[in-house]
Structure formats: structure tokens, C-alpha cells
Structure 1
């Protein structure tokens, strides 16, 4: 095959094991042979809509097999796949569609966006059925862009991180070296696939090995426990909040979890209490550290170290390296690291050191080879596994006609890990209602970005140079 990228994967896997189960969604299962045929039809359909080598194809909606089909079909054509965060507001989504110049948008009927070539999943099967099955083999190099994944920027504008086919391949290799996933494994894919971790730490490695992915469109502890029992799930990825929810659910004591042998977690460290709850059931976590820009695995904590090294993000992945700068910032190098940001040479240049290491913006320490993430150079915080950049929230707050300035920090939360706390200074004479201000943000920001706590203040603490003293705000007790 001339296609060396992900677009060739369905056909490579189908010629090895066409009758193996690839995906199960609700009551429908698709084999690898059927999937290869479907992705070819979809590629031809996209071609009819004008998609050519290098064009972008966007996807908007909850987890569904069509997400993976669109990814593989897009890559058959040598085009670039752009998965969109369905939790974002319409304004945020429309910005990203315009920024990447998406040729086609495939979307769930529950999620709409402004686009002249939009295909709803309501019409997807009928539309797909009419596609040609004529094989295609577009030449694709592994160094070409495969994905553009938008990450909220510290300046308030999201940036499109590029991941090449090679980045995804090397991340898959790293995961397969760090774990013992195999063809007989059943992975529960419930974390949102628009996030790099759910896609590249579960679905793609399982696909390469010929495993079975059970895809779910939403998270609930009850559905998770039922899926594990019904499908004999052997491994899954989730964020700390999800695992805490499952351990606190009524199903926890009665659910048959005997098939599980590996739990992967990212986004934030797992609390010791949650680790112990799973250890008591004979289950252990594989934790790690990474970013969208590192595809995402930069470090990995193997199961045997999960208690002895609780709180650690592990050691560097096999094909990758980390180091700390003079100020303790974590820097990453390896074939899994992004080549840069979409149409943003300034941000790309700023993201790398002079000798080519990626600046993560996180402060860490290394103890006996194990990485511990202790703070952030940037003010980003993580809420329920989602990155929240205060500058973006602050920009939305100051769009309100009564707000003169705003400062947002992350504060601890028992359920979500961290949530936003906003301090707003009104214009002289204005009266601000915190409840009404949160409602003002609803059409402008994703729900997880909206501050849980809003406080009206007369002034914000500042340094001598006029910068807001966010550490001082973080130290203030909640009212």
C-alpha cells in the first residue's frame, strides 16, 4: 500500500482478521472486514463532496462508531481529521471550523454548527450506502498531518495542535510497550473520543492489535458496570472523577469486575483513597502524564508502582524523554511530539526550546526517575479531566457590559478535582448578580468552563507591575 498512514489500518487489519469484532455500539457489532468496506465507501462519499489530499474533515458529536469511520476514511484520502469538542458553545465550535477550514462536517443530530457541507448522522447510513466500493490507495507519508486537535489557548483563543501519523504511531508503540494489550482484549471506550487520550490510548492501540472496542456515547457508573459485566471488558481509560463515581455508586459492591485487568487514568492524579478502593477489589491503575501535543503519552506509571509511587506520573515512555528546565518546567522530546500548531507559527516557535524540546507549561520534580507534577507555569486547571484556561473565561466574563475586569483561578473540588472561581470587578455604579453572570456565560462557554464560584470584588490584588496576583486569589478561603 502506498498509504503509510492510519487510512490503511482498516484494510491491513481486515486482511489479517476480517471476522474479528472491531466495534460494538449499543446492539450493533461491526467486524474488521465490514469496517474496511464501510470506510472505503465513506472515503468515496467524502471525495464526492470535494475532499482532497490535505483538506480537513471535522466531526462533532458524542462517541459513535462513525467517529472512527470518519477518521479512517479521511485518512484514506490523505486528508486531516478534526474532532471537535461537542461540549463547546456554538460560537466556539464555529470559530474552530473556520480556523481549520473544514471542507466537510459530519455531526450528530443533537449538535449543529454552521457549515455548508454538513452531514447529519440521521442521514449517515443512507448516504453511506450509496458510496462506491472502488478501492483507493492515496499515497500518504507518516510525517503528514493526521489530526488537528484544538486546545484552549492561554491568550483566550484556541490553538489547533497538529499530530502527524508518525506521532500517533509512536504513541501506539509506547503504549503497547508499557502495557500488555492483546487481540483478545475488550476495551470500554467511554471517555470522549475528541480527547486525544480516549482516542490514542484506547481505540487506536486496540485497533492495531485486533481487539474489540465497546463504544459508549455517555458516562454513568451504572452503564459502566453493566458494560463490564456484559462484554467482559478487560481494560478502559477514564479520568479520576469517573473512577471515583464508580467506586461511590451502588453497583460498586455487587458488580462483577472480574474481567478487568487494567485501568488507565489521565487528566489528573488519582486520589489515594480511590486507588485503595480499587486495590481492595484487586484492580490497579496505570497512570501517566502528557498533553494533546505529546499524543499524549510522555510518562507512564506501571501498575506495580501505583501505590508505592502514588502521586507520581511515572517514568518517561520508551520512545521519549523528559527533562526539567532551570525553573523546573517539564520539557518533552520524542517522535510523539507535535510538529506545531495549525497556521500559527508564532505559537509553534514559542512552544519549543532552542534545541527542540517541547515546553509543557507544567512544573515538576523528578525523584529516582519518577516524575511528579507539582504546579503549572500557566494558570490552566483541570476540571473533570477537561483543561480550563482562565484567560478564555476571563475574556468571556469581560464581555458582560457591567464587568470591568475579571480574574479566574482553579480551586479544589471533591467531585471534579478543580473548578473555576471567578473574581469580578464591576464598572463604577454597576450592580452584578453572580447567578445572572453565570447564566450570561452559558451560550459563550462550555459548561465545564463556567466558574462554579463567582465573587464580586472592589479591586483585584496586583503586583508592582500591575499583574493580577493569582496566587493570592488561590489562597483566599471560600465564603
Structure 2
């Protein structure tokens, strides 16, 4: 029995990196030997509870040791990890569990009310609660499923290594990404996708065995997992986990643990640089800063350069696990605004919608090819047909983003075909918000678009036409969405308009809305 996937990584590190710390979360520090033993116990315990090869197990919780143990344990028995965004609303959790067909949910005590609400009318047969924070009890008597405590589950099984055949092309993770039609899609990330992305990262970012990586972004997003956690473990480094981001706490951890590497988004770096402790904290250990989601503002770039630091920026998405391009720190000024060069084992081209490759400096659709690119979406045949194009050079993923390559192969993103809003590193798809608002009888038409925000980069704004004979206030709109959507998806402002600018076919012209109401 041979495991070729990520579930084999920690066992190998138990020997290659014996005695070295693997992961620290709060006051808990585990060596690679301890980490591996706990992973094996969980894998055996899940098998004892009926989890079989190919079955899905969902996880609802913030960054924690248990999150990673679940990922690797499932990888070691050939099962599939389904991480859920902790900021989802109850109906959204239900959708993800139903769509993935998850048979089990592992959830933090802090997420208990959302977990209990989320398993209703799904295929989930058992819930395991992780004691990783202050328990927030759900309404008494509501959970009708068998439930256990994570520590008890671990104690019930042996630390013997499970022996299961796992191939690189086997499915490892289903990670949901919002669709342009408002329906989230499960990107199917194989063990090969995750492995090759990690290889790209350690090749282009030059991570070492001595890396001490601070994870300040949630691991239920592919960026933290793919650009930080997995490459660090592949090299045998030390991962420092924070359950949630706090700029002062991040600075404290950098100094205490002599952190060498941080993976984040522009908003987090801005908040760190603006914290009162920024100037007095010893950050001399830092060597690598990587940033995705959007370009780092010049004033933030300068704040870090003043302390001898520079950024490696990049472009990617869940479907590329996530790295597609990276802008080396040495080009941060010369190629400012660029998303960088294709990762070492990845190819990027710009083509028209027929697949004809365009010459340098011509804008077209960004298309990506490589072993880090997913094979498709979970149970989404139509999306799979529309998201890939095949020609003599192979199969390419259609990003839906518009951009161009300059004469040296550096990618510049021009516009988002999908109208996606990136707010503080979170992806917001207006169609999902618009669908929710369309349920209100008082709304005749609605369009959601992004507007600039100094703190978050972008936030949503809703333009609404009120139906004749009705009245509606901004507060009523925002209150209606509260509880139906994750809070970060809810627009930060509303403008009421008499009519929508439309094309001849009746489609709303969002560029005109942005121009008129975007300031």
C-alpha cells in the first residue's frame, strides 16, 4: 500500500525532520513526531467511524492544529477534505454540505450554533466538536445526530500508520468558490494540484528547511493553505497558526518566534504597518513577504521598504491551487502593477475567446495550464464545459479575467470579466448578492458593484430601483441580508436610482453605474 499524496508528507517528515517543531497554535507546539502520531490516530478513528476512501468530511473552524490534522488524516486514508468558510450564514453551510455530500462534520465549539443549523436536512451522519476555544452552545436539543469530542475521538484509536493506496490524481480537497451565477462551485483539488503548487512556491519563493511561517489568513481559503502552510511542511519548516488576524498580535508573534515568512493580503499588511507597535517591534527575522488578492498600495510598499523588506506579489485563484503567476521582489518597482511571471511549472497565455493566442500587449482572456490546475468542478458539468478550452497545446483553464502579457512575459490584469469584488482578500460575486436582494418585493432592479475602499481595497455597493408604490431604506436592505449571506458579502452602502443603464438586450451596464455612483 503506497500513499503518493499529501497524507504521506508528515510521516516522511517524522524521520527527516525528527525533533523539529512542526506547528504551533497558541500555547500548543507539536514536533513532527507528535503531529504525525495525532494525524495517524485521527485517520484510524475516522476509518473506525465508517469514513471510506473518496467520502467527504467537512470542517468548520478557524485556523487550528485540528484543522491541519483533519486535512492530513483524510489524505492518508484517501478521503476528501471540505473546508467551510466560518463567515458563511446557516443556509450557505447547508448548501455546501448538501452539494458535497459530506457524511461527517468536524466543527469548532466556537462554531456550534452554525454547525447545528448547517447540518439540517443534509447527509451528515455525525458531528465531532473541537475544543479549540470558548464554547458557544447551540439551542438545546436541536442536534439530533451522534456527536463526539475531538480529543475523545483521538484517544480511541491507535497511532499506527494507515496503509491505503492514494494516487497523485486522487481528489484531496473540495474547496468552494462563488460562481458568477450566484451558485458556489466546488473546485476539485487533487493531491497532484496541491503538490505541484507547493513545488512552484518553494521554487519561486526559495523557502528553506528553517522557514518559520506565520499564517494570519484563514486556511479555509486556498491562499493561506497553498502559498504558506503546505510549502512550509514540504520543506520541513515550522508553521505558526493564528485563529484570526490581529495586527498587534501578528507583530508580537514575529518577534517572539523569529518568523521568517508571512503570506497575506494587502489589507493585513496595511493594518500591521499602521499599528502603534510597528516601529518598536523587532522584525529583523523576516525574509519573505508574499501578497495576493490585489496589488500592494505604494504607501504600504514604501512602509515595508523603509524597514528593509519587499514583497513577492502574485495572481491566482482557487482553481490553480492557487498560484498562477508571481512577481519577484526585485521587480516590485520596475514592473509595478504587474501580476508577475508564470510560476515555474505553470504556463500562462492571453487569448481571444476562440482560443487564438494574442501577441504581447494585446488584451484578452488570461488562460492557465499546468499540474496545479484543477480538472474540474464537483458535479458541475456545464461549468466544466465552459471553464476549459483544448487545442493543440493541451487544455487551458479559462480564468474569466482580462489582461495582457508585456514583451518580457509579465502579466498585467486589465479587468475582471466576472465582475468579482475582492474585499480584504475575500472574493465577492455580485450575482449572489443580487439574487438575494431580488427576493424583496420592494426592489424592481438591483446591481451590485465594487467601489474603492482605503482599508479593504474594495467593498460592495448596491444600486437599487424601488418598485413603484413601495418604500425602502438603506438600513432595511442591509438588515435583510444580515443572516442570509456572510457579512463580508453584504454591501457597505446602497444608492437608490430612478433607472438602470442597460444594453439593447436589457443587461445592466455596470461600468456606467460605477462611473456615476462609484465615488
Q: Same fold (TM over 0.5)?
A: yes
Match of 2:396 among 357, 365, 379: 357
Does residue 88 (structure 1) correspond to residue 88 (structure 2)? The answer is yes
What is the CA–CA distance in structure 2 between the aligned matches of 1:16 and 1:103, rounded to whole Å?
A: 35
Query: What's the offset of the Cα at 1:127?
Result: 2.3
Deviates more, 1:12-21 or 1:84-93: 12-21
2:59 — aligned with what? 59
Contact 1:50-1:103 at 8 Å conserved across structures: no
Matches within 5 A, 1:58-77: 58-77=58-77
Contact 1:293-1:338 at 8 Å conserved across structures: yes
Does residue 180 (structure 1) correspond to residue 189 (structure 2)? The answer is no
> Counterpart of 1:338 in 2: which secondary structure?
coil
2:421 — aligned with what? 381
Does residue 332 (structure 1) correspond to residue 371 (structure 2)? The answer is no
TM-score by length of 1: 0.98
Query: What's the offset of the Cα at 1:78?
Result: 0.3
Does residue 255 (structure 1) correspond to residue 281 (structure 2)? The answer is yes
Contact 2:208-2:235 at 8 Å conserved across structures: yes
1:129 — aligned with what? 155
Query: What's the offset of the Cα at 1:478?
Result: 4.9
Match of 1:428 among 454, 468, 472: 468
> Counterpart of 1:471 in 2: which secondary structure?
helix
**Where in structure 1 are there 5+ consecutive unaligned residues?**
none
> Counterpart of 2:203 in 1: which secondary structure?
helix
Match of 1:311 among 337, 357, 376: 337
Q: 1:307-357: CA deviations, max 9, x gaps? A: 221211110111111111126110001111000000111101100113221
Query: What's the offset of the Cα at 1:132?
Result: 2.3
Query: What's the offset of the Cα at 1:448?
Result: 1.0
Matches within 5 A, 1:462-473: 462-473=502-513
2:233 — aligned with what? 207
2:182 — aligned with what? 156
2:316 — aligned with what? 290
What is the CA–CA distance in structure 1 between the aligned matches of 2:63 and 2:442, rounded to whole Å?
A: 39
Contact 1:49-1:104 at 8 Å conserved across structures: no
What is the CA–CA distance in structure 2 between the aligned matches of 1:414 and 1:59, rounded to whole Å?
A: 33
Q: 1:200-242: CA deviations, max 9, x gaps? A: 1111111011101010001111001000000000001000000
What RMSD over aligned residues (CA atoms) do the two structures have, in Å? 1.2
> Counterpart of 1:341 in 2: which secondary structure?
coil
What is the CA–CA distance in structure 2 between the aligned matches of 1:354 and 1:41, rounded to whole Å?
A: 43
TM-score by length of 2: 0.91
Does residue 459 (structure 1) correspond to residue 502 (structure 2)? The answer is no
What is the CA–CA distance in structure 2 between the aligned matches of 1:287 and 1:471, rounded to whole Å?
A: 27
What is the CA–CA distance in structure 1 between the aligned matches of 2:416 and 2:226, rounded to whole Å?
A: 24
Does residue 167 (structure 1) correspond to residue 193 (structure 2)? The answer is yes
Does residue 5 (structure 1) correspond to residue 45 (structure 2)? The answer is no
Contact 1:275-1:307 at 8 Å conserved across structures: no
> Counterpart of 2:96 in 1: which secondary structure?
helix
Q: 1:278-319: CA deviations, max 9, x gaps? A: 011000101111110001111111111112212111101111
> Counterpart of 2:103 in 1: which secondary structure?
strand
Q: 1:98-141: CA deviations, max 9, x gaps? A: 10001111111121231431111032122211222233110011
1:237 — aligned with what? 263
Q: 1:59-81: CA deviations, max 9, x gaps? A: 11110011110000011110111
Q: 1:396-445: CA deviations, max 9, x gaps? A: 11122322221101111111111101011222211011112101101111
What is the CA–CA distance in structure 2 between the aligned matches of 1:463 and 1:49, rounded to whole Å?
A: 56
What is the CA–CA distance in structure 2 between the aligned matches of 1:24 and 1:77, rounded to whole Å?
A: 25
Match of 2:439 among 399, 405, 411: 399
Q: 1:235-268: CA deviations, max 9, x gaps? A: 0100000001111111111111100011010011
2:380 — aligned with what? 344
2:515 — aligned with what? 475
Contact 1:196-1:295 at 8 Å conserved across structures: yes
> Counterpart of 1:87 in 2: which secondary structure?
coil
